[in-house]
Structure 1
Amino acid sequence: MKSKYVLLASALLITVAAFAQKDQIKSAEKALKSGDAQGAITILKDAENMVANAKDAEQAQFYFVKGNAYLDLANKKVEESKNLSLAAESYKKLIDVEKASGKQKFSTQAATSITTIKGLLINSAIADTQSNKNIDGAKKLYEAYQLDRNDTINLYYAASTAVNGQDYDLALPFYEELKKVNYSGKGTLYLAVNKANGNEDNFGNAKDRDLAVKLGTHEKPKTEAIPSKRGEIYKNLALILVQKGRIEDAKKAIADARKANPEDTSLILSEANLYLETKDFDTYKKLVGEALQKDPNNADLVFNLGVISANAKNNEDAEKYYLKALEINPNYTNAYLNLAALKLEAEKPIIDEMNKLGTSAKDMKRYDVLKAQRESVFKGVIPYLKKANELDPKNEDVAKTLLGVYKALEMTAEAKALKATMN
């Protein structure tokens, strides 16, 4: 008989606990409705230990209220990032509980809230990067990716933002995951100019874009290819691995990528850059040759070879590749800019020597020679800077550089005309 009383007492304890938990959830809901989200969370924490033994419906309700409370705090900018994460975690637990039970009551609302949280994380990350808080931004972008792993572009931006913040330890696992999912980022933009505001809008597909043009809301339709980002991804992955002394891992990473994506020419450049970093110049030259054979009329590829050559201090090859890129695409703005930058490098040693000269007759004569050389350098970059400014008039750096050259050469009329367009 004694054992029966024990069982009866245990059953009563469980029933009492269940009722207590229901009351706590209701109390938390009431607190949340009255605007006391923190109070709701405090109430729910008291019920945390019992929730594992509760019925599925009560568990789902518990996580739903908890998620709503954390989201409310985040919306009020109370530890926004932390509370967005905690809200998302609660909603995911809710969805798992209802999926296992086969009964869905809150899952649709929870999924909608998770989408909202994802958007808030991305917007907060953008604000962070604009405030030079790249590390915080990278972490939020990765959290957004974890909420929706199909949206892999957030993982790509998390990795590149971590690199911008120079936190390579944070960036490394992001790049390794990009490698694992074989992310490319390659795609197509379907663009048209919005007549109402003059902005260029991107459409999901050509059909929607063409319909907007037909309806008269948009004009000037165009289609642009988004190039593969694999080259950049594997270049950064390899550079981080090299920095950590894991050179063989870096080589394997790019070799694996090329094997999986044999048509992606950007990976050849990444591999060439790796061997350049490790000072294996023979392999570097071999890969450069392979890249050109594979796609000799690809302006981007030829331009990137110019960049790699410039990084290797091989200015002669760099100039050759930039000029070749312009042969293929005469409107390649960056090629003009890089040619100008390449030519302007000759100014520094001239200035250094000029600054060391004295006031003797010999030194003054040498000064005049150097001054003429400097003027020749400036005159040589004017065509490149003018063309770059013509192609990209909104680029203030180009205009300022060109203005500086005009002033150095005392080209007053040209400087005045350019300054008028800048104002």
Structure 2
Amino acid sequence: MSMFLITCSSSFAQKNELKELEKLVKRNNTTETAALLSTVEKMLPQATDDQKAAYYFFKTKNLINLANSGVDFNENRSKAIESINHLIKFENETKSKKYTTEVTALKNTLLAELVDEAIDSNRNKDYKKSSRLFEQAYNLNATDTVYLYYAASDAVNAKDFDYAESKFKDLIKLKYNGESQTYVATSQTTGKVESFGFDRKARDLAVKSGTHTKAETIFSKSAKPDIYNNLTHILLNKQNYSEAENYALTAYNLDKDNVNSLLNVLFLYYNTNRLDRFEEHAKKGIERFPQNEILLYNLAIINMQNNQNEQAKEYLSKILLLNKNHFDALKSLGNIELQKDADITNKINALPNTTTSNKKRNDLMQEKRLVYTTTLDYYKKAQAINPKDESLNELITQIQDFLKNN
């Protein structure tokens, strides 16, 4: 009998405290609400499912109130997301739907706030902030995997590569591909194409009602190549070639028409000294992308690093045929030409100081002047495109001084 009375007394107390919690939450009294939540939490083992759900609901509301009042904003909003998810899971498991409607409304409101704030941060180029906000949006609604993709992509923009790496790997584990269909139609009022997002029924109803015409479906490409390419690029920069290789080859096989996939494979093979495979893929790349300036320039640079200047010049010359105002190609051609100066200078310095050596010295000085004149021609063209390159301007001044005095 006494045990029954204790249980009833505890249940009665919980009901009173839950009523008091409801009043405190409505008054936005976050301090007293937090204190009373701690008291109620100790009684949860004896509480009914509906009472437990009430506790989780008021806890969620208080965390949102704390965040909105500016108290530990990010921490309390993250806790609110966890609490919302916990309550939804709890009500699904216990078949208790007492707070489902209200918590769903809270979830949708918070999700909209997170996404709007993330978009604003992205527009303001605060990419680190937007990446974290998109992650919170994903944590709140894990079915919207696209938010995790946005979080990873914005982390790359923020150069927050460790964070981006972990999110891209999560996307791969989730087998995310990003393919989607967006439903659009033309407004009869404005004449503009309007998007109905993923809601085909809404689009079809608008067309049927006569407010819209020309129903269309826009298909987005798979995001898989982008995910694998970004992950490859991050790992290559960390010189983690063994892990990068699988991602690089996967990206390349997924989309051979993506020049970034090819470039990652080329850098991988070059930096791991597998030059036979490098040459094989470089040849395929030139056949597939004969007019891609980025590919041609990167191949030129790799050849320059390998002291294969004639091959590098061939690539750089192809770039200038496509784009005569390519600054880096012009500067690189000047750099290649200027490299000849060291050999000529060594030959001059090796000559004995005799009358019979004067003719040879004059011939070599003439070669030196020709090298400087040719180099200057490339540099001046590059300077006209980008007059603010300080190292280039300094080289031009030095060459002009030499030619003036010699």
Q: Same fold (TM over 0.5)?
A: yes
Q: Closer, same or farther in 2 for the Cα pair 1:18/1:193, shift >3 Å?
A: same
CA distance in 1, matches of 2:272, 2:73: 43
Of 166, 172, 186, the match for 2:165: 172
2:30 aligned with 1:37, yes or no?
yes
Structure 1 residue 69: deviation in Å?
1.8
Change over 3 Å in CA distance of 1:345–1:307 after alignment to 2: closer
Distance 1:256 1:232, change over 3 A: closer
Q: Would the aligned equivalents of 1:18 and 1:54 in 2 still touch at CA under 8 Å?
A: yes
CA contact (8 A) 1:190 1:222 kept: yes
Which of residues 280, 290, 304 is equivalent to 1:286? 280
**Aligned-partner SS, 1:35:** coil
Of the structure 1 ranges 171-180 and 125-134, higher mean CA displacement relative to structure 2 is found in 125-134
Gaps of 5+ in 1: 1-7, 327-335, 352-362, 386-400, 409-423
Is the CA contact (8 Å cut-off) linking 1:28 and 1:41 kept in structure 2? no
What is the alpha-carbon distance in structure 2 between the residues aligned to residue 58 and residue 338 of structure 1?
A: 72
**Which residue does 1:67 correspond to in 2?**
60
Deviation, structure 1 residue 30: 0.7
Structure 1 pair 190–283 and aligned structure 2 pair: CA distance change class (3 A):
farther
TM-score, normalisation: structure 2: 0.66
Contact preservation (8 Å) 2:228, 2:250: no
Shift of residue 91, structure 1, vs aligned partner: 1.5
What corresponds to 1:342 in structure 2?
Answer: 329
Go from structure 1 to structure 2 and tell me whether the alpha carbon gap of 1:156 and 1:43 turns closer, same or farther (over 3 Å shift): same
Unaligned runs of 5+ in 2: 305-311, 339-364, 394-406
- CA drift of 1:136 comes to 4.1
Q: Summarize the alignment of residues 271-420 of structure 1 with structure 2, pairs less than 5 Å apart.
A: 271-291=265-285, 296=288, 302=292, 305-306=295-296, 308-309=298-299, 312=302, 316=313, 319=316, 339-345=326-332, 374=376, 379=381
Q: 1:85 to 1:342 in 2, by over 3 A?
A: same
Structure 1 residue 249 and structure 2 residue 243: aligned?
A: yes
CA distance 1:172–1:60, shift in 2 (3 Å): same
Residues 330 and 381 in structure 2, CA contact (< 8 A), matched pair in contact too:
no
Q: Aligned-pair distance for 1:99? A: 0.9
Is 159-168 or 311-320 further displaced after alignment? 311-320
Q: How does 1:103-182 map to 2 (within 5 A)?
A: 103-126=96-119, 128=121, 134-182=127-175
**Counterparts of 1:253 and 1:305 in 2: how far apart (Å)?**
20
3-state SS, counterpart of residue 326 of structure 2: helix
Q: What RMSD in Å do the two structures reach over aligned CA positions?
A: 5.1
Q: Deviations over 1:15-39 (max 9, x none)?
A: 3222222222221211121232343
When residues 229 and 77 of structure 1 are mapped into structure 2, their CA distance, relative to the original with a 3 A threshold, is: same
2:67 & 2:211 partners in 1: Cα distance? Answer: 41
How many residue pairs align between the two structures?
354
Is contact 2:320–2:329 with CA below 8 Å preserved after alignment?
no
Distance 1:81 1:222, change over 3 A: same
Could you tell me whether the CA contact under 8 Å between 2:225 and 2:251 is conserved in 1?
no
| Deviation (angstroms), 1:174 | 0.8
**What is the one-letter code of the residue matched to 2:245?**
K
Distance 1:317 1:123 in 2: 50
Q: CA deviation at 1:51?
A: 2.3
Asked if the contact 2:330/2:378 (under 8 Å) is kept, the reply is no
Post-superposition shift, 1:66? 1.6
1:234 to 224, 228, 236: 228
Distance 1:308 1:245, change over 3 A: closer
The separation in 2 between residues aligned to 1:190 and 1:378, in whole angstroms, is 53
CA 292–237 in structure 1, closer or farther in 2 if over 3 Å, else same? same
Task: Assess, with a 3 A threshold, how the Cα gap between structure 1 residues 66 and 250 changes in structure 2: closer, same or farther.
Answer: same
Q: Cα 1:103–1:223, aligned 2, differ >3 Å: closer, same or farther?
A: closer
> C-alpha separation between the residues in 2 aligned to 1:320 and 1:203?
49
Instruction: State the TM-score, normalizing by the size of structure 1.
Output: 0.64
Distance in 2 between the 1:18 and 1:176 partners?
Answer: 47
Cα separation, partners in 2 of 1:306 and 1:194, compared to 1, 3 Å:
farther
Q: Computing the radius of gyration over CA atoms, which structure comes out larger, 1 or 2?
A: 2
| C-alpha displacement of 1:104 | 1.4
One-letter code aligned to 1:183: Y
Letter in 1 for 2:2: A
Contact 1:238–1:274 (Cα < 8 Å) also in 2: no
Separation (CA, whole Å) in 1 of partners of 2:372 and 2:190: 52
1:229–1:9 Cα change, 3 Å? same
The answer to whether the 8 A contact 1:137-1:161 is kept is: yes
What letter is aligned with 2:228? Y
Tell me which amino acid in the other structure corresponds to 1:45: S
2:90 is aligned to 97
- CA displacement, residues 249-297 of structure 1 (integer Å, 9 cap, x when unaligned): 22233445566x477756444333432443433322323344566xx37
Give percent identity, aligned residues only. 25
